[in-house]
Amino acid sequence: PLLMPVFSFEEPTGPHRIGTKLYHWVDHQRNEPYSKNPNNRRELMVQIWYPAAEKSKGDPEPYIRNINELSKGLEKTLSIPAFAFSHMELV
């Protein structure tokens, strides 16, 4: 957090709470052409936001889920040190 400041988002100002739902879909009929593993299949992650009920309860969703895994992937792919993204779990 010292080199890259932690930021925060404005609180929503609308009349509704905001809900979110994550989906992880796998198309078992199609190979993943960008993988060296011939057993990998096409995958798609989808996140949907929606107006939630007024009395909805639940934990806040993190800005980026699984930031540690994402950081490791960026480090491997782009040669950016994984620690450069460690502050994102504080958002």
* Predicted pLDDT at 3: 60
Q: Which residues of the chain have pLDDT under 50?
A: none
pTM above 0.75, yes or no: no
Contact between residue 12 and residue 50 where contact means Cβ atoms under 8 Å apart: no
Structure tokens at 40: 């990998």
- The predicted-structure confidence for 23-45, as pLDDT tens digits, reads as follows 999 999 999 998 999 999 999 99
Contact between residue 34 and residue 3 where contact means Cβ atoms under 8 Å apart: no
What does the radius of gyration of the chain's CA atoms come to, in whole angstroms?
A: 17
